Structures are given as C-alpha cells and as structure tokens.
Chains A and B, each alone.
Chain A
Amino acid sequence: MKNLSVSMSLGAAGLVTLLLLPVQGCTDLTENPPSLIDAGNFFHTEAEVQAGLAGVYAQLRSTAPEGGIYDANEVSTDEIVVPKRGPDWYDGGQMIDLHNQTWTPASAGTRAFFNGAWNTAYTGVARANLFLEALANGNVANKAMYKAEGRTLRAFYYYLLMDQFGGVPLVTTTDIALRPRNTRREVFDFIESELIAARDSGLPATRPTADNGRLTQGAADAMLANMYINAGVFTKEGAGAGGINATSYNTCSGVTVTGGQDACTAAIAAAQRVRNSGNYALADTFAVNFRYDNYKSPENIFVVKFIPKDGLGMGVTMAALHYCQYAGVTPWNGFATLAQTFNAFDPADKRRQAILIGPQVDVLTGAPATRRQCGSGAPLVFTDSIGDILAANEAEGPRLYKWPVDPAHVQQNSGNDFAWFRLGEMYLIEAEALNEQTSGSPAALALLTTLRDRNGHPVAPALTGPVTRAMILNERLFELFGEQKRRQDLIRFGQYTGRTDAASGIVGGKQPSADYYVLSTGAVGGKEAMESTLYLVKRGTEGVDVLGEWKGLGLRGNSSAPMKFKCCVDEASRLTEEGGGFKAMLEIALPWFQIGSAAVSIGIAEAALGNAIRHTTSARLEHMGGSLAALVPEIRARQRSAGRGDRSDRIRQVSAGSTS
C-alpha cells in the first residue's frame, strides 16, 4: 500500500507539473518568418539596399511586351490586331474588345488589360514607396544615387498611369487606402519635379557596362521630353472644352511647364540635352537597337533589361510568331499587324523589314516554315490582310518581328532589351516641337533627315519638306512601330478613336462609327427604281453585315460601305411613306450631301495645293541646281499669294495659276 501511494504521488506530482508548465511557457505567438524578411529590419547594408532596388526595377518587366500595358498600347491601335484563329485566342472576346475599342467598365478587355495595366504600374509605385521609405531611415553608401533611382522609377510608373488613366491618386506612402484622384496636371507636375530632382541630385550621366540598363540622367531627360511633347494631352482632363481634342492635334504649344516654360520649348530643350550629352548616338543600322545584343546600341536610353534566363527574358515574339517558326519552342501565333499599317510604309523603308509577310522561314534555322502540322503542312505564307477578325486562319496577317529571337534563348526567354526611350524618338520629339513652333520648320526636317540617314546608312529615302504634322505621325509609326508609342501618338494627333480597319480587309474589325444605316428599298408594289422606301436600321441588327470599306472609284468622303442583308426589316423602322423614299432623299438628304461633297472637294483641292507647293519647292532642276519655285518667278509669285487669304482664295489662285 505504501509503495503504491508513493509511486502514485510521484505520478501525480509529474502530472501537476505537466499541467502547469506549458501554461507559463507556451503562449507567446509572435511570428518570426524563417524564409521571409521583415521589411522593418532590412536595408541596413548596401547589398540589401541594392536588393530592394532590384525589386523596384524588376516590375519594369511587366511594363514591356507583353502584359496589360503593352496590349493596351498596341492592340487598341492600328499596329496590332489579335484575330481569333480556330479555337485559339478568343478568350471571352477580350482581344476583340480591346482592338475594336468597345470596352466598358466590366467588359472582357477592361478586366484583362486595363485592370492589369493599373495594377502593374501601381505595384511599381508601391515597391518604390516601400523602398524610398526604408531608405530614408537608413544610412548606406551612395544613398543619394539609390534614392534618385527609386524616385525615377516611381516617376516612370506614374508616367505610365498618367498616360493610360489620366489623373490618378498620387501616393508616396506605403499605407493602403482608397484615395481621391488627383488632377492630371498635378500628376504631371509631380512626375516632372521628381524627374528633375532625381536627375540633378544623384543619377549618374553614364553607367559602366556592368551596370548597363540602370537609370541615368538621360533617362530622366528622355522621359521629360516625351512628357512635354504630350503636354497638350497630359495636362488636360478628358474631352470637352479645355480638354483633350479627340479629333485634332493637341499641341504642346501654349502649355506652361516648370519654370514658366512653354512645353514645346521644354520638349526641345530636354531632347537636346539628351542629344547633346555626348552619351548617345544614332546606331548605324536600325536593327541593332532591337537585337539580342542591343545593350551595345548607343541609342537606347531607358530600357527594360532582359537576359536569356528563365523568367528574366523577353518573350514578345511568342505572341506573334507562328507555331512552326521557332525551332524548339512553340509560339502562340496571335499578334498580327494590319494591312493598312504595313502598307503605310514605303516599300524601300528598311524599317519595314521588322514586319514578316509572305513565305516564312524558321527564325532560328532559316528552314522554310510550314503550316500545321509543322513540317508536313503547306508552306507558311503570311498574308497582308485578315479576312475575318473572328475567323482567321493560322497564316493570316503580317507579324511584328522587331526583336529577333536570341540564339542563346532559354525556352522563350531572349536577351533583347526593350527600350522605352531611345535616341530616335528624341529626334522625332524635337522635330515635332519645332514644327509646332514654326509650321514646316526646316530645322525639323533636318532632324527627320538625320534620323533617316543614320550616319550615312539611310533606312529610307530622304523626306521632302515642308514638314507637316501628318509626316511626323507617319515617321513615328515607321520608327517606333511596336514600341508602345502608337496609342499615345494617336491620342495626341486626335486620331485614336477615329480609326477603322476597313483598309486592312478585316471583317468584324473596328467599324465606321455609324450607329444607324439608312436603307433604300423598292417600295412595296413599286414599279420603278424611283419608287423607293427608306428604312432606318441599327448597326448590329441580326442579318445586317457591314463588309468593310467600299473600294470603289470616286469620292470617299462619306462612309459608304458594302452591306449584306439577310433578313427582314421591322415595319417600325420605316422612315418614309411607302414609295416616298426618293422624295425624302431629294429634300432631306441631298442638301446635306451637297455640303459633304463640297467639303470633300475642298479637301482634295487643298491636298493638291499642298502637293503642288511641295513639288515646286523640293523638286530640283539638276542642270540648273535650284528648285522649281526658286527658278520660275511665276510659280514663286503664285505660291506667295497662295500663302495669303483664306482657304478658298488659295485654292482659287493656285488653280488659276495652273490653268493660265
């Protein structure tokens, strides 16, 4: 009995201890992540600061091809279209939505691309904010430079937001909160001041090769130049009075930026700072700016850096190339180029070689490529047009192939850098701003000529003056095709929403913007063509197909289009009495049509005048060494008088001159 109670009591004592011990010991629930880093306990050494900065840089990868930002900048314009090919690429209609600009707040394109673009850019801002906040509390070597890099990157992410979304909330702290929008002007001013501050207090002028790809003063200036040339858009809120003009050019002239400067003047100054810094030069060949070794290009100013490693490389070619033309990798055969865009290039323009068309080869091996099944299919020939945006075959449409694949690629990862800003664009910005200051500026023409000439290795025949806005927009297309500038340019030039795809032969692409069509039919019981009835038919009505642009000879000032009708029209949509169509046409439509015809006539005449002036000023008589205008007094005099007066005067005078 004694033994029993002793052993029992020991057991009980042990139990009591066990019951009490953990109560005291194990209520601490503080978390100490073993494989993560506490943000508050970091950025103590230069290496840690560099790691934090690398994370801010790394978000750049999501801004370059491809992703929401790239797709919004390209697919919504006339540079890229992504047709549905068989079962592929439909994706809930998101690509069509984006290309045809039919997006609404909840539509497929918005969800996929604009949400993505918003988050991508703002994640960059948030990473920069976290980095800058932590950096402010520590002290490491070269702190000023790291701070300047962080600020420049943040300014760039805000630049993307301002470009795509206008006035966005400006936030420089790390707390998450729903905030009101700032005005676009406030965002513009913030970016401008940040870039100037970073440039002047920490960014180096150049980088050693080992740090190639990191930010320099040139990057800040290039971004500023771009902001200034876009100031007519970037400082304004939406459409309407005082806002952005959707149908005509939005000039930098008259917009005041830092120091009370005119934005055009500031654009010229910023572009010149880059051009004259001595750190950049035009590359002798156009292609060197885009190749896998384009870090050697003297022209690239601000790049997204890619290397051929898993997850760190560029893969934009995957979206464009056909499944069977990249040995060892199966591209996705999506992105195509519009025929109208391809055809806009001068066939002699070497820059057009970045577009693949016609019979294709494997981009690595050079072996002839076939359609599927690869190797045994018919030869792969890219067409210039796309028959139907919703029913394309695998070979339809030319392809953008500006960044050729890297021979050392790792799967789809190539080492080509993507230049957000390169020297070529500085020439274009300066020329455009000069042209805004002095229309037809010879200095602007000289810049464009230098750019085409590329140090005596011309990419295209020299341009003939005088410089016009249209010429600059075209030159930007030729030079910067695929480099995410087109959307911005079209908005600045007032042409973003006005595009149609008809010239590309696309069915189901972006349509002329008519919402309703007036149909003329033979009247019920009518015997002559004059006895017609008019109906009003809404676009999209079942059985009504608009088959693209009418390519007939004659005036194209209205948006006539061949149409196909399969079904019946509702009685409720009849516009006139039975047989009253012709009368209505004469009485109602004809007066308006006359005005339209007159307007078109004036437009043609004005274009003819422009061409005549260009011809007389630029065409040179070889044997006499002067231009037509300089040598023939009569022409000179007509031309002078054509420069005065209103438009109709000018036209009258020139036509009088040519008949006399």
Chain B
Amino acid sequence: MYLKRRVGPILAFLAVLAAPLAAQNGSIRGQVVDSVTQQGLAGATVELAFRSAGLTVQPGRQILTDANGRFTLSDVASGAATVKVTRIGYGPQRQEVNVPAGGAAEARFALAPQASILEPVVVTGYGSQRREAITGSVSTIEASVANVGVKTNADQLLQGRAAGVNIIQNSGEPGSGAQVLIRGGSSLSATNAPLYVIDGVPIDNVATEPEATGVGGAPALPRNPLNDMNPGDIQSITVLKDASATAIYGSRASNGVVLIETKRGNASSGPTFEYDGYVSTSSPSRRLDVLNGAEYRAFVTGQVSAFVSDSGGFCGRHATIAGCGGTDTTGVKYTDSAGVFAGMPSSHLNSLGSANTDWSAAITRSSVTHNHNLSFSGGTEATRYRASMNYANQQGVTLSSGLERIQGRLSATHSDLNNRLRMEVNVTTSRVNNTYLTYENNGGFEGGVFENVATFNPTLPVTFSDSLGTHFYEVSGLSIRNPVALARQITNIGQTNRTLANGTVSLDLTPGLTAKVTVGLDHSGGQRQEYYPLANPVGQALGGGFARQADLQNQTQTIQTVLNYQRSFGGNNTLDFLGGYEYSKFQTSSITATGTGFFTDANGFNNLNAATTRNTFSDATDARLASFFGRANLGFNDRFYVTGVLRYDGSSRFATGHKWAAFPGVSASWHLSQESFAQSLPFSDLKVRLGWGLQGNPSVDPYTSLITLKANNDATYPWGDQAHGGVLASSNGNPNLKWEQTSQIDGAVDFSLMNNRISGTVEYFHKDTKDLLLTIDVAQPALQPTQLRNVGRLSGHGLEVTLDALAISRPNLTWRAGLVLAAERTNVKDLGGGSINTGYISGQGQSNSYSQRLIPGQPVGSFYGPLFLGVDSAGKQVFACTSATGGCVNGRTTRGDGTAEADYRVIGHASPDFTLGFHSEITWNRFDVSFLVRAAVGQDVFNNTALVYGTKSDALSDRNFLRSGLTDGIGIQESSIFSSRWVENASFVRLQNITVGYDLNVPMLTRSARSARLYVSADNLFVLTGYSGLDPEVFTSNGLATRGLDYLTYPRPRTITGGLRLLF
C-alpha cells in the first residue's frame, strides 16, 4: 500500500502527459515524385513540421515513401499542418495541408534534384540535426555513392570525398591500416586518429590483434581496427571537423570525429532481399626495380676486373709486398700514393650463380578477391529489422598475405506507445582471418621479405634439387634470406573476433522532451600465431625454430543517458537542448607465449611444449572516462542558429587533480538567403558560419602519470647462476600530466546556386594545440631517459573547398560532379625549448641517423639533412656546407654524415601544399559511370628504400641493389648517406576508381527481382607522379610525428572488379 501511494502521483502525472494522444485525428495521403522524370520517389522522408501553437501532435514524426513514392500519414490532428518532404539528392519541400477531422488530405510533392547527394538530416553527436540548423563544420558521405570498387573498410569510403580529411593507406597489404588526418592532425606524440562513433557509441580504435615479433626490426604496422566493419552495412559517414561540432565529444575530439551510421530496416517497400557481390583481380602496380641476373653478373665481373687491374699495377710498383710475388695478385689490398684500389676483390666472383631470378616477380602474384553481401530487411511501421551477412576473401598481391572476413549483423527497431517509445538493437559480430607476409616496416636490415627482394643475389635460383629432394636455395651465414622461402615457410596468421553491440531505448516523456539510454559493448579478441621453422634460416637464427602465440582482449563498455528537449516557439524559432552523461570503461589484457628450440617442424605453433625454451608474458590495463555534456541549439526565424556546447570530461589516464577538464564550443550560422536583401543575389541558398571550440586529446597510455614498478627481464639479474627477478620503474611518472588542448576557430560560407544545381562550401580554420603531450628527454638522474610532459604548442590553419554540381539533369541523363580541395599546414610553435630529431632512417649502416626534425616555426614533417650538390670525379657525393666542419671548401664537402651536422638544413616538407579529390557520376539510361581522382601537390617523400638499396656498395656484401644505383656515378666504396638527394617531390594524380554499371531490365529477366545492376570497376588504374619509389603515398612509422617516409612498403595493387547487385 505504501508503494502504491508513492507511485500514485507519478502515474497521475504521466497520465496527464499521455492525455493528448486522445485528440481527434485525420490523415494525409500523397505521392512524392522527381520533378525531372515525374517518377515516384521511394524512400523520401515525409514529416510533420513543428507547429507553433499547442503541442497536440508529436513533432518530427517521420515516415518513408514506398516504392512508388506514395505515403500515408495517419493519425494527424485535424487542422492546418505543415508537411515537409526531404530526400537524399533532392531539395526539400514544404506544403501547408489542411487535415480534415476523420478524413484524408491529398498532397503531391515534386522534388528537384540538387547537386549534393546529402541526407537532409545530419547525424551529430548524441543525436541528429536538420542540415540547415548545423552551425559547425560537418562533412557527410553517403556510402551508396562512395562504396564502389574494392572497399574493405570504412576509411576507404572517405578517401577523396571529404575536404580536409586526408587518408593515407599504409600500404597495399590487404587490411592495412591507414593514417587518417582530419585537418592535419593536432598532436605530435598522442594519436592523430579521429574518434570513431558507430551508431552513437564511441569505439576505442585500438589494435584488435596482437603485434607480431619483428625479425630484424619493428613488425609491420597493425592492421586497421575498422576491418571488422563491413562497408556494405554502412549507411552514411559524417565527419565532424571543427571544434564547435566536435566539442560535444570533448576530450576525444581534437582530431575530429567520424560518425558511422549503419543501415536499418526499411518498412516502406515491404520485405527486401539484397545480394551484392563482386570478384576482383589485383596485381602490383609497381615492383622494386633491381638488377636482373645478367646485369648483376656483369656488374660484379666489371668491378673485379677493375680491382685486378689496380692490384696488378700496385704489384708492379711493389713487387716485394706479400701477395705480389706469385702469379695471383687479386687478393692484394694495400694502398700507396696512387690511391685506393677500385672495384671489388675477386672473391666476389664466388657469389655468382648461373640463374636469373626476378625476386620481385617471384613473391608477387595476380590475386583474386571476392566479396558477398546478403541482406534482408523489412518489418512494419512499428517494428523493423535488417539482417546481413558478409563474406570477403581478399588475397594479397604477394605470396602469403590475405584477409578473410565473415561478418553478420542484426539491426532491429521497434516503436510503441504511438511512437513515443523507441527501442533499437544493433549487433555486429565478425571474424577476420589475417594472413601476414613476414616483413618489417622499418628498422630492420635482415629477415623481412622486401629487404631480401631488394638484396638477394639475382644470379641464384629460388630452389635447387639434390638427392634428398627440392629445397629453397639459401646463402649461409649471411643475414640475407631467400624471400620466397620466407614467404612460403614462415607462418604468421591472426584472427580477430569482434562483437559490437548497442541497444538504445528512448522515450518521449512529454512532447519535445525525450530521454534516451544507450548501452554499448565492444569486445574484441584477437590471436596471433607465428612459426619460424627449423627449415628456414630465420627459424634457425631464432634458436632452432621459434613459435609464438599471442592473445589480445579488448573490451569497452559504454553507457549514455541523454535528455533531449526540442520545441518551437514564437513562430519559426526552435530550441533544441540536449544534456547527458556518459561513462566508458576500457579494458585490455594480453598474454603471449613463445617457444624456441624444436626438433621438428611438424607441430608448427600448436605445441609449445615441444620447445626447449619457453617464455610467457602477460599484461593488463584499464582506463575509464566519465563525462557530462550539454548542448543547446537555438534557431531564430529560420535565419539564425546558435549552438553552445559544454562537455566536462574526466579521464583516469591523467594525474590526480588534472583528471577533469571542461571543453566548451560556440558556433552560429546566419542563413543570408532567407533575408530579403539577399533575394536579388544569385544564390538559392547562402549561409555563413562561425565557430570556436576547445577539444582535448586523451591518448596517453594508462598509468603514465604514476611511478610504477614493473617486473620484467630488464630488471632481472643473476646472482650466482640463477636469474633473480627484479623490478624497475617503467616510467618517471608525471604528477602534472593533463590533457592536450586544441582550440579551433572555423569560418565558412555554404552556398547553392542555380536552384541548388551547384552547391559548395568554403571554409577556413585556425587551430592551436597547447600543452602538447611530448615525450622529452629529462634531466638526469631519472628512472627512464624520457618523460611524457605537457610542453609545446602546435598551430595549424587551412582552407577547404567543397563543390558539387548537378551538371546535367535530364530524364535519361544526369551528371553529377564534386570537388574537394584542402590546403592545410601545421606548424610547430614550441617544443619546450629546442628541436626534436625524428624519422629514424631504416637500413644497414643507418643506425642513429634521422631524416626529419621538428623545429619551432617549421611544419610538422620537415625533412632535415645535408643538401646534395652532385657527385665529384672520384665518385663521392658532394654536399653543401657553410661551416668549417667536415672539410668544407668553397661551400662543398664530401662529409654528409653526422659529423657535419652544422650544415644540415630543412630539405623538404612531407605535407602536401594541397590535396584534391574529384568525383563524378554519370547516369545515362541504364548505364552509369563514376570515377574518383585524387591528387596531392607539393608533398615530399623520403625514399628510404632507394637510399639503402640503391647504393652499389651493397655489392660489397654480395647483395643486389636498385637499377638506379648502376648509373648514378657514385663510387662503390661510397656510403649511403641521407641527403636531399633522397627527398623527392611526390606530387601525384591518381585515378582511384572508375566504375561502369548497367541496370538490367529486370522484368525481362525475372519477375521476382526488383532491380539488378552489373558493374565493372577499376581501382588505382594509374598514378601520375615523378616519384621514383613504388608509390607516392607512403606511411612508415619511424619516430615521433613522422610523415612521408617510404621504406620497403608492400606494393599497392591495381585492381579490376566485376560485381552484381540484386534486389528482390
């Protein structure tokens, strides 16, 4: 009874809220058509616009038109109502309709196509907004337009389509990660990757699969965590770029936010069954151009003759010297005043074989990829569902690499209580099987496949046969391995299972006031298995066979509670208020076990017990993020919009007392085209925007602020012959560690011309990052040489232009074209005093050398080193100099090494002057043609591959080298020295994709299918560039904030695809 009395008043209160449901109603019926073709438009959104007086109807109610463009809005309060129809790719339309009580009103909408194919409602943080109410900088990409060709993950959909979003695929490896830089990034040491939000739930974009061990250097970069998403399930991607738009994500937003919305069920056209599949074939677009067998043989014999000639001459002058007395003087090596001997001693002839092997060709192949999506969706107006399955199998263009994905997704929405209660569940679960080629992205000079393609002697065969069978040909005792054997014999695979699930319940408490609770779970479990067999020299060198198994578990749990209040007042004024709380918990744990010393390769990595030495490692971390946030969006008279955002974030990763910070944002827009004075202007739409905001970057490892002890091998010390486990401090801690903060100002003009046939945005931003998280050398004594501190500032600014045009719009022919252009520069302002060397150079003989320097006043990614002037008559490289170091004469020196560092200067910039994306879609009757061209102008790339493998002194170690080294005039004894010679202009124009499609005349084929489309597509058909390496778009991670380093990347494929899409 007590309970009942307490509950009673609440029930009564809610009953009052529910009462308006009982008003007297009518309905609206009608059709939406294309104004050009007069064909019905399916999937248009029909909604009842806000009404100013009396909250008698739920505002914002939406339904979708059916296949013929027809709709019925039932249960509408009688009287005047404003109906608004919007559809992607068309301009919106409003109509006043008078709804008779108990009857039906008729309405017909003819929508005009417009230039940009954009959803009228934009997903923003924790909700959505009408496009016209947006005050921040937001780019939207419709997946249906972008998803052509071979797209294996969501990042690829963004390439070249959003201004200011620069994406560099790490390599051509299937599933390789990408560097996504929104507006150039805002950090040096913390991540520059944007925050990804899938269906409203932020995901922790960390590696889902354990790293491999490196053989001679750091292992290849981890694969893209978004590989678990099927691009076919993505409805749209929204990129929040400026601070006012991203501020709602506060601490995690300084690198921008990518909001991914997945496809949901659609009831308007009945149950739908869709198949979408393609088969493609790829081949490497370029290969390492090394000497072939004949060329290498000729080179070595030529060098040996030169040596024999010099030593013969020497012995003529010094007959008594040891070695000169006999007939064979080829091994003599002395010098006299006549100089050093040229060439190579005759012992190098021993290394020559009789074969002619093209190692590049031997490890590459034409590969096949196939991808199948199957989905069905449907439901009633209240309950909708969509289920999909995806199977993708992508072969890499080198041996032993590939990616296989099996993924399933379920999405269900349900509304009840007359659409006042809405529930949604999305579950994606995927399994990705990766097969990795053994190679290193940086550092190493032995072990990896690509190193050995560059260096393995081309006069040796891939295999040879003897009485015991056929074996791979290996050279003993060298760190040079048969690359084909590496690819074939070494097992390196990984699997990831990932489940992304979220559930949302939202309830309209009163008209306009909605409460929403979202629970998200992201769990991934990744395994990595490696086996380096006894049969392979790498396996031998690792201790007689080496097996490793690693397991990585990531879990993120998120709960969001949001209250949203929307209402209109005073005519055309709107208020949209949102407030909420979010809590996320991140947990990671890993375990790795290795075994060394096997007597058989029979078990592979499966039986570590067979190893003579075993090691196990494990680790666990957790972190938490708690946030309160609020956003108010005010619209005045459809002309002015003002948005204010405040987020208060707390992260466990920072020091006590610095865990919480507030991130505000303010922005406003003015719809000039609504003003009477603008009516005479040629704009069909004109809007100016201005915004400011503050964002954070919390990407530091957990526990960095604390001094913690760690038990590990480095702290272990033997007393007697027993190892005694010890601890050491894993970091210096930092009791003042806090957020990196970026403030950003953004100003933009959005415009449309010629009845929305041309639309565009011109946008300028300026951003400043302060309290930059930097790992800097600390004063000694310290427990570790470096400490993570908030020092330094970065400053960036840029211009972005987006243009879309509907060039032709006729019943049988439409042509849309779009251009995105971005110019951005991020400069280092301050690094806490001094500069920082970075971009460590990979390869043999390059230890402790670096190619880039972060210098206050210079852009991030500035190459720094000696200026190359040419080659002198003695075959030595000549560099510019000003100081007395290194024998500087007349501004020229042959010392380009670290002893002449005073003469180093900035010799290039890795960031492009501007990037460009141009896409075009033409539809002619049943044919459609689309293409995407991307370009970057003014970027420099350091060709580390050519530096190390393009120097003929490699032959002194019996190693092959790049053909360019043959004719460069440089002496065989000359070292490979980093200089401006290796920093090349890498401007490029790439035909990213071209697709030709044909819509089959379905009724002629089958009665059950609704539509069918066949297409042929080509990816990376050509690249125009002067860059001499494999590809001008490179990414090698080698130090702090490095860009534009190219070292032995996995070759990028050229891909031809044929596909079919069937809709039943």
What's the nearest-Cβ distance from chain A to residue B512, in Å? 15
State whether the Cβ of B780 lies closer than 8 Å to any Cβ in chain A.
Answer: yes
Q: Which residue of B lies closest to A27 (CB)?
A: B626
Contacting residues, chain B, for A87 (C-beta < 8 A) = 844-845, 948, 951, 953-954, 956-957, 959, 975-976
Beta-carbon contacts of A404-429 to B below 8 Å, as 1s and 0s? 00000011000100000000000000
Complex CA gap A396/B345 in Å reads 13
Complex CA gap A55/B14 in Å reads 66
- B845 near A51: Cβ-Cβ < 8 Å: no
- A51 near B478: Cβ-Cβ < 8 Å: no
Contacting residues, chain B, for A575 (C-beta < 8 A) = none
- A12 near B507: Cβ-Cβ < 8 Å: yes
Partner of B715, one of A15, A35, A58: A58
State whether the Cβ of B417 lies closer than 8 Å to any Cβ in chain A.
Answer: yes
In the complex, chain B residues 677-735 whose Cβ is within 8 Å of any chain A Cβ: 702-703, 705-711, 713-730, 732
- B18 near A377: Cβ-Cβ < 8 Å: no
What's the nearest-Cβ distance from chain A to residue B530, in Å? 17
Known contacts A29-B650, A391-B973; A122/B713 CB under 8 A: no
In the complex, chain A residues 301-335 whose Cβ is within 8 Å of any chain B Cβ: 305-307, 309-312, 323-324, 328-330
- B780 near A126: Cβ-Cβ < 8 Å: yes
Complex CA gap A470/B604 in Å reads 62
Complex CA gap A88/B778 in Å reads 32
Q: Which residue of A lies closest to B720 (CB)?
A: A210
- B846 near A372: Cβ-Cβ < 8 Å: no
State whether the Cβ of B222 lies closer than 8 Å to any Cβ in chain A.
Answer: no
- A307 near B901: Cβ-Cβ < 8 Å: no
- A372 near B783: Cβ-Cβ < 8 Å: no
Complex CA gap A36/B976 in Å reads 43
Partner of A391, one of B340, B350, B541, B723: B340
Known contacts A12-B14, A178-B779; A210/B561 CB under 8 A: no
Contacting residues, chain A, for B417 (C-beta < 8 A) = 4, 7-8
Complex CA gap A57/B902 in Å reads 39
Known contacts A54-B724, A94-B898, A542-B889; A126/B781 CB under 8 A: yes
Residues of A in contact (CB 8 Å), total 124
State whether the Cβ of B335 lies closer than 8 Å to any Cβ in chain A.
Answer: yes
- A8 near B14: Cβ-Cβ < 8 Å: yes
Contacting residues, chain A, for B334 (C-beta < 8 A) = 387
- A411 near B543: Cβ-Cβ < 8 Å: yes
In the complex, chain A residues 204-260 whose Cβ is within 8 Å of any chain B Cβ: 209-214
Q: Which residue of B lies closest to A62 (CB)?
A: B714
- B726 near A15: Cβ-Cβ < 8 Å: no
- B711 near A51: Cβ-Cβ < 8 Å: yes
- A36 near B732: Cβ-Cβ < 8 Å: no
- B563 near A58: Cβ-Cβ < 8 Å: no
- A54 near B613: Cβ-Cβ < 8 Å: no
Interface segment, one of B77-85, B246-254, B614-622, B805-813: B614-622
Partner of B718, one of A26, A108, A307, A391: A307
State whether the Cβ of B624 lies closer than 8 Å to any Cβ in chain A.
Answer: yes
State whether the Cβ of A171 lies closer than 8 Å to any Cβ in chain B.
Answer: yes
Residues of B in contact (CB 8 Å), total 131
- A54 near B715: Cβ-Cβ < 8 Å: yes
Most chain B beta carbons < 10 A, residue from A295, A372, A383: A372
- A307 near B721: Cβ-Cβ < 8 Å: yes
State whether the Cβ of B517 lies closer than 8 Å to any Cβ in chain A.
Answer: yes
Beta-carbon contacts of A101-114 to B below 8 Å, as 1s and 0s? 01110111101100
Known contacts A214-B719, A373-B477, A374-B476; A127/B848 CB under 8 A: no
- A53 near B652: Cβ-Cβ < 8 Å: no
Contacting residues, chain B, for A30 (C-beta < 8 A) = 652, 656
Contacting residues, chain B, for A118 (C-beta < 8 A) = 780
Contacting residues, chain A, for B779 (C-beta < 8 A) = 169, 176-179
- B561 near A18: Cβ-Cβ < 8 Å: yes
Contacting residues, chain A, for B886 (C-beta < 8 A) = 540
Complex CA gap A531/B890 in Å reads 29
What's the nearest-Cβ distance from chain A to residue B866, in Å? 11
State whether the Cβ of B331 lies closer than 8 Å to any Cβ in chain A.
Answer: yes
Q: Which residue of B lies closest to A122 (CB)?
A: B780
Known contacts A19-B581, A108-B901; A34/B622 CB under 8 A: yes
What's the nearest-Cβ distance from chain A to residue B894, in Å? 8
Known contacts A87-B951, A373-B478; A31/B706 CB under 8 A: yes
State whether the Cβ of B420 lies closer than 8 Å to any Cβ in chain A.
Answer: yes
Interface segment, one of A37-45, A447-455, A480-488, A552-560: A37-45
Q: Which residue of A lies closest to B726 (CB)?
A: A54
Q: Which residue of A lies closest to B896 (CB)?
A: A93
State whether the Cβ of A266 lies closer than 8 Å to any Cβ in chain B.
Answer: no
State whether the Cβ of A33 lies closer than 8 Å to any Cβ in chain B.
Answer: yes
State whether the Cβ of B333 lies closer than 8 Å to any Cβ in chain A.
Answer: yes
Known contacts A4-B417, A88-B845, A214-B719; A38/B708 CB under 8 A: yes
- B626 near A19: Cβ-Cβ < 8 Å: no
State whether the Cβ of A152 lies closer than 8 Å to any Cβ in chain B.
Answer: no
- A372 near B703: Cβ-Cβ < 8 Å: no
Beta-carbon contacts of B768-789 to A below 8 Å, as 1s and 0s? 0000000000111111110100
State whether the Cβ of B1010 lies closer than 8 Å to any Cβ in chain A.
Answer: no
What's the nearest-Cβ distance from chain B to residue A41, in Å? 9
What's the nearest-Cβ distance from chain B to residue A570, in Å? 9
State whether the Cβ of A50 lies closer than 8 Å to any Cβ in chain B.
Answer: yes
- A373 near B476: Cβ-Cβ < 8 Å: yes
What's the nearest-Cβ distance from chain B to residue A487, in Å? 20
Contacting residues, chain A, for B550 (C-beta < 8 A) = none
Beta-carbon contacts of B537-550 to A below 8 Å, as 1s and 0s? 00011110000000
Partner of A410, one of B543, B653, B659, B895: B543
State whether the Cβ of A130 lies closer than 8 Å to any Cβ in chain B.
Answer: yes
State whether the Cβ of A13 lies closer than 8 Å to any Cβ in chain B.
Answer: yes
Known contacts A12-B507, A86-B957, A87-B957; A55/B715 CB under 8 A: yes
In the complex, chain B residues 889-906 whose Cβ is within 8 Å of any chain A Cβ: 889-890, 892, 894-895, 897-899, 901-902
- A4 near B18: Cβ-Cβ < 8 Å: yes
State whether the Cβ of A348 lies closer than 8 Å to any Cβ in chain B.
Answer: no
State whether the Cβ of B339 lies closer than 8 Å to any Cβ in chain A.
Answer: yes
In the complex, chain B residues 1-43 whose Cβ is within 8 Å of any chain A Cβ: 7, 10-11, 14-15, 18, 22
Known contacts A54-B715, A54-B717, A391-B340; A309/B723 CB under 8 A: yes
Complex CA gap A330/B215 in Å reads 13
Contacting residues, chain A, for B541 (C-beta < 8 A) = 328-330, 411
Contacting residues, chain A, for B727 (C-beta < 8 A) = 37, 42, 51-52, 54-55
- B517 near A18: Cβ-Cβ < 8 Å: yes
State whether the Cβ of B958 lies closer than 8 Å to any Cβ in chain A.
Answer: yes
State whether the Cβ of B651 lies closer than 8 Å to any Cβ in chain A.
Answer: yes
- B782 near A539: Cβ-Cβ < 8 Å: no
Q: Which residue of B lies closest to A324 (CB)?
A: B477
Complex CA gap A332/B11 in Å reads 82
Contacting residues, chain A, for B467 (C-beta < 8 A) = none
- B420 near A8: Cβ-Cβ < 8 Å: yes
Most chain A beta carbons < 10 A, residue from B15, B479, B784, B948: B15
Give 22 CB contacts A-B under 8 Å. A5-B15, A12-B10, A26-B624, A30-B652, A33-B621, A54-B717, A86-B956, A94-B898, A108-B848, A119-B785, A126-B780, A126-B782, A176-B779, A178-B779, A310-B613, A310-B713, A372-B477, A373-B958, A378-B331, A378-B347, A391-B973, A393-B956
Beyond A108-B901, A214-B719, 14 extra complex contacts between A and B, CB < 8 Å: A27-B650, A31-B702, A35-B620, A38-B708, A86-B953, A87-B845, A87-B976, A91-B849, A94-B847, A126-B783, A210-B719, A211-B720, A375-B476, A387-B334
Question: Would you list the 4 A-B pairs with minimal beta carbon distance, nearest first?
Answer: A108-B898, A374-B477, A540-B887, A54-B726
Residues of B within 8 A of A (CB): 7, 10-11, 14-15, 18, 22, 331, 333-337, 339-340, 345, 347, 350-351, 417, 420-421, 475-479, 505, 507, 509, 515, 517, 540-543, 559, 561, 563, 581, 583, 589, 613, 615, 618-624, 626, 650-653, 656, 659, 702-703, 705-711, 713-730, 732, 778-785, 787, 837, 844-849, 872, 874, 885-890, 892, 894-895, 897-899, 901-902, 948, 951, 953-954, 956-959, 973, 975-978
